[in-house]
């Protein structure tokens, strides 16, 4: 077991290293951040002073080593655009992103599980057909398109909900559903497939012969056993929602990490972009590693696969 954990940790560190190289290289390809900060009247001496102050005059490999050394010590650097520590910017914006992602996660569970169960119970009915169409649409439509369509219908045409901004429940409904719709479709399909397998087992047939009410068979016996597969995916959704919130936060002007990283990219603020992308990568890789370790404890066969 220890060998499995060590191996997964080493794989995670290797993935983080590769991601850091890619992010560092792409941020430098984007151009000189000083060109986005200084105006045309800035003198050559001022430009060279700032370049030296921020370490941009060093060779690329030295800049990368400096960046990694700071990252390992928890120093995310100072933003070029806002002239503030990146850690402070992230601390300000992260709660809004977690709030929206958590709400999207709730929407995913509340909608996906009941529809998946009922689609399996009413297999080949009009409800099952509608559920499958709903799932296919959710996994085919781009997130930004879903967000714009929802905004046009419920905010612009009907005027029921606000178009943008951060506030109470009314402000979270549109971006929350747009963010969670893809995962609603995925969880619904997994739940339906698992329920169909369980409904065909011998103990379910025996329970029906004994005269146990159908609703009790479905929700107490079948649903519990069918949750194993969809919950496997459900445990990773929060990380997916947080990292995938960039587009939705931009469309709905939600003041979170996603909007922050877009502004940093436009301003060529590679210090902020690197920090946020690495945060997303560490979050996603960390959750995957923890999930793998938990599975290894539950099913010893995974340790040797």
Q: What is the pLDDT of residues 227-255, one digit of tens each?
A: 766 766 766 777 777 777 788 888 888 88
Which of these ranges, 43-47, 107-111, 221-225, has the smallest mean pLDDT?
43-47
On whether residue 261 sits in a domain, the answer given is: yes
Residue 226 lies in a domain: yes
Query: Per-residue pLDDT averaged across 45-49, rounded?
Result: 67
Estimate to the nearest angstrom the gap between the alpha carbon of 58 and the chain centroid. Answer: 35
The range of the structural domain enclosing residue 209 comes to 86-266
pLDDT digits (tens, 9 = 90+) for 137-194: 877 888 888 888 989 999 888 888 888 888 788 888 889 888 888 888 888 888 888 8
Residue 213 in 3-state DSSP?
coil
Do the Cβ atoms of 276 and 261 come closer than 8 Å? yes
The H or E element spanning position 159 is none
- Give the pLDDT score at 80: 75
- Residue 43 burial (10 A CB sphere; 0-12, 13-18, 19+): exposed
| pLDDT (0 to 100) of residue 73 | 80
pTM: 0.74
| 111 located within any domain | yes
CA dist 113 and 48 (Å) reads: 59
CA distance 147 to 156: 12
pLDDT band at residue 42 using 50, 70 and 90 as cut-offs = low
- Give me the pLDDT at residue 53, please: 66
- Counting residues of the chain whose pLDDT is more than 70, the rounded percentage is 80
CA angle 135/137/142 to nearest 5° reads 120
For position 245, which CATH number holds?
A: 1.10.3720.10
pLDDT beyond 60 at 135 = yes
Judge whether 226 and 191 are in contact, CB under 8 Å: yes
Q: Residue 85's beta-bridge partner residues?
A: 78
Answer yes or no: is 304 within a domain.
no
Q: Mean pLDDT of all residues in the chain? A: 78
Contact 228, 197 (CB under 8 A): no
Tell me whether residue 273 is in a domain. no
Instruction: Specify whether the CB–CB gap between 186 and 115 falls below 8 A.
Output: no
Question: Which helix (H) or strand (E) element contains residue 200?
Answer: none
Q: What's the total number of domains in the chain?
A: 1
Of the candidates 298, 299, 235, 291, which has an alpha carbon nearest to the alpha carbon of residue 8? Answer: 291
Q: Are 160 and 174 in contact (CB under 8 A)?
A: no
């Amino acid at each position: 077991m220890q060998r499995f954990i060590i191996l997964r940790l080493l794989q995670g560190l290797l993935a983080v290293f590769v991601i850091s190289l890619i992010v560092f290289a792409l941020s430098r390809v984007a151009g000189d951040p000083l060109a986005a900060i200084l105006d045309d009247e800035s003198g050559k001496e001022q430009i060279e002073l700032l370049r030296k102050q921020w370490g941009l005059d060093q060779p690329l490999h030295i800049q990368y080593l400096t960046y990694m050394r700071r990252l390992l010590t928890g120093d995310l650097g100072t933003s070029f655009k806002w002239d503030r520590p990146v850690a402070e910017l992230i601390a300000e914006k992260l709660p809004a992103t977690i709030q929206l992602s958590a709400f999207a996660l709730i929407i995913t569970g509340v909608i996906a599980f009941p529809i998946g169960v009922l689609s399996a119970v009413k297999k080949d009915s009009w409800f099952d057909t509608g559920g499958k169409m709903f799932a296919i649409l959710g996994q085919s439509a781009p997130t930004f398109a879903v967000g714009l369509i929802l905004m046009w219908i419920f905010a612009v045409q009907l005027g029921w909900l606000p178009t943008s901004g951060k506030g109470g429940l009314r402000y979270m409904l549109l971006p929350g559903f747009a963010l969670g719709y893809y995962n609603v479709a995925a969880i619904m399909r997994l739940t339906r497939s698992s329920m169909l397998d369980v409904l065909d087992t011998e103990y379910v047939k025996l329970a029906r012969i004994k005269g146990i009410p159908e609703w009790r068979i479905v929700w107490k016996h079948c649903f519990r056993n069918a949750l194993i597969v969809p919950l496997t995916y459900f445990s990773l959704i929060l990380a997916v929602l947080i990292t995938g919130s960039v587009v939705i936060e931009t469309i709905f002007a939600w003041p979170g990490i996603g909007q922050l990283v877009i502004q940093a990219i436009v301003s060529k603020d590679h210090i902020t972009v690197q920090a946020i992308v690495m945060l997303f990568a560490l979050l996603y890789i960390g959750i995957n590693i923890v999930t793998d370790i938990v599975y290894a404890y539950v099913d010893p066969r995974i340790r040797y696969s």
